[in-house]
Copies of this chain bind each other. A is one copy, B any other.
Amino acid sequence: MSNDQEHVSDSGRRDFLKGALAAGSVAASLGAAGTPLAAAQTLQPGMVPGTKNHYYVPASDKTVHWGYFSKSLKPVVQVNSGDFVTIEVLTHHANDDAERMIKGDPGAESVFHWDKQRKGVDRRGAGPMKPTLFGRGAGEGLGVHICTGPVHVRGAEPGDILEVRIIDVRPRPGANPRHKGKSFGSNAAAWWGFHYKELLTDPKPREVITIYEVDTAGEKNWAKAVYNFRWTPQTDPFGVVHKIIDYPGVPVDHRTVQENHGVLKNVRIPIRPHFGVLGLAPSEADIVDSIPPNYVGGNIDDWRIGKGATMYYPVAVPGALLSAGDSHATQGDSELCGTAIECSLTGTFQVIVRKRDTLAGTALQGLNYPLLETQDEWVLHGFSYANYLKELGPKAQSEIYSKSSVDLAMKDAFRKMRDFLMTTKGLTEDEAISLMSVAVDFGITQVVDGNWGVHAIIRKSIFAGG
């Protein structure tokens, strides 16, 4: 895919103005209570005025890469270890209901812009720019998530660990005055879902979008469904017909679908705001599909990666190159139908470089996978293939989709937890294995992302005893 490299590092993502932001715009964007707003003025990344180490990266056509990670991407901002960065993340499903999720929001409008002449962001996915494989569009939709970034962290080198503390996560308020004070998300029961070949009722198969409403005032800790509709063939502005959801960001023409209001009546979905995608650029390939999670994180789709949690990632390339995407209002373990409540969010992160030579005897020693720490727990992420890019060879990015297995992910999670207990806690293998059987909970993270996931949870209090 070397012929795509020119595009990956194209000029559109280079021209950010570091620290050149007008004071008023970011102050407004943070709001009185610190709530980031999708302010019209804030389309350039830079330092938050009045701070020395807090950067702000709005989501715009200039600050996102859509559907892939790449070590060749130009960073949108460069920060030091210990700095804070607030990152706006847009859901790639916003065009399922542009009225509620895009209209009036300059950042979202710049990203989703698509008319007969041009797209705000042309490449969507890691496929060829000329869509010679499937004819879906540039990048072929081989990767779907709108990722904001990457953030270059100075001093981060391969072999180090990047610690990412999630300081805050907030919903992005809808900009359309008709839906003031609300935010919306989309759940797509799509062809890549676990259920798709198992449908009971007609028509079979079918894809269904459910639009959910999320309170942005923080008074209600639940989401509720607004309506659903069956996906019908959608013709994009370039004239390509999308019979199924095969390319991200296709605008849904609501004159062609039947909205069913009143679905999931009286059902309150507890919210668990988090980032489905948070991770670093891998070193193994120049451009990598954003869908399968991997050793550097990415699309882990663990709802525990939310406010108050800390992630640790092995750094694979200089500067680490952190990106965030696939924001979710909530998700269940397994993400069964293929997506969560896909909902734009803004996160504030502190990034800290843990140098390789300082890790001995810590929980980070030898860490070669994305590790989650919460106040009470360690959560280890296993996948069908711990590093599928390395393990599956040159065709890894297509083969991973035919090799998905919870059984394999369970085995990987077991191995990682054993290593963690032996390395970090100094247990013998026999102690570690007994402890895993009596005190570690293994759950199914997701069964829809090619490289399926099983997470292993151990409570910290287990080790607090005397």
Judge whether A442 and B200 touch: CB under 8 Å.
no
Would you call A180 an interface residue if the criterion is a C-beta within 8 Å of the partner chain's C-beta atoms? no
Question: With A264-B435, A440-B336, A444-B442 as given contacts, are A414 and B269 in contact (CB-CB < 8 Å)?
Answer: no
Question: Do B443 and A442 have beta carbons less than 8 Å apart?
Answer: yes
Contact of A462 among B208, B269, B336, B443 (CB under 8 A): B269
Q: Which of A432-448 contact B (CB under 8 A)?
A: 433-444, 447
B-chain residues with CB within 8 Å of residue A113 when the two chains form the complex: none
Contact present for A339 and B437 (CB under 8 Å): yes
Chain A, range 223-242, C-beta contacts under 8 Å to B: 223-225, 228
Q: How far is the CA of A258 from the CA of B74 in the complex (A)?
A: 60
A261 CA to B222 CA, complexed, in Å: 50
Q: How many residues of A contact B (CB 8 A)?
A: 70
Which residues of B sit under 8 angstroms from A338, Cβ to Cβ? 437
A330 to B436, CA, bound (A): 12
A427 to B225, CA, bound (A): 13
B444 touches A443 (CB 8 A): yes
Q: Which residues of B contact A223 (CB under 8 A)?
A: 438
- Determine whether the beta carbon of A434 is less than 8 Å from that of B200: no
CA distance A193 to B200 in the complex (A): 36
Q: How far is the CB of A325 from chain B (nearest CB, A)?
A: 18
B333→A433 contact, CB < 8 A: no
CB distance from A64 to the nearest CB of B (A): 24
Please choose the segment from A9-17, A246-254, A288-296, A403-411 that sits at the chain B interface, where 4 or more of its residues have CB less than 8 A away: A403-411
Interface pair A340/B437, CB less than 8 Å apart: yes
Contacts of A410 in B (CB 8 A): 194, 334, 406, 444, 447
| CB neighbours of A266 from chain B (8 A) | 463, 465-466
**A465 contacts which chain B residues (CB < 8 A)?**
222, 224, 266-268
Q: Which chain B residues lie closer than 8 Å to A268 at the CB level?
A: 461-462, 464-465
Distance, CA A407 to CA B403, complexed state (A): 12
A210-B430, A222-B465 known; A414+B336 contact, CB < 8 A:
yes
A270-B429 contact given A194-B414, A406-B406, A441-B332, CB 8 Å threshold: no
On chain B, the residues within 8 Å of A427 by CB distance are 264
Q: Which residues of B contact A330 (CB under 8 A)?
A: 438-439
Residues of B within 8 A of A407 (CB): 405-407
| A198 part of interface (Cβ distance < 8 Å) | yes
| Least CB separation from A330: chain B residue | B438
A433 to B268, CA, bound (A): 15
The chain B residue with its CB closest to the CB of A465 is B268
Q: Do A436 and B228 touch across chains, with their CB atoms under 8 A apart?
A: no
Contacts of A463 in B (CB 8 A): 266-267
Kindly state the separation between the CA atoms of A155 and B221 in the bound complex, as whole angstroms. 46
Residue interface bits A12-31, CB-to-B below 8 A is 1, else 0 = 00000000000000000000
Closest residue of chain B to A339 (Cβ to Cβ) is B437
Select from chain B the residue with minimum beta-carbon distance to A443. B443
Chain B residues with CB under 8 Å of A222's CB are 465
A257 at the interface (CB under 8 A from B): no
Q: Does the CB pair A439–B270 fall under 8 Å?
A: yes
Cross-chain contact of A433 among B337, B429, B444 (Cβ < 8 A): B337
Expressed in whole angstroms, the minimum distance between the Cβ of A386 and any Cβ of chain B is: 14
Q: How far is the CB of A326 from chain B (nearest CB, A)?
A: 14
Residue of B nearest to A456 (CB): B334
Q: Could you say which residues of chain B place their CB within 8 Å of the CB of A331?
A: 437-438
A264 to chain B, nearest CB (A): 5
Question: Nearest 4 A-B pairs (CB), nearest first?
Answer: A268-B465, A337-B437, A333-B441, A334-B442
Given contacts A189-B430, A270-B461, A332-B442, 17 further A-B contacts (CB under 8 A): A187-B438, A189-B437, A193-B433, A198-B415, A263-B428, A264-B435, A268-B461, A330-B438, A330-B439, A334-B436, A336-B437, A340-B437, A406-B406, A406-B410, A441-B443, A442-B443, A443-B444
For this complex, 8 residue pairs linking A to B, each with C-beta atoms less than 8 Å apart, are A208-B430, A208-B434, A267-B463, A332-B441, A340-B438, A406-B407, A407-B407, A443-B443
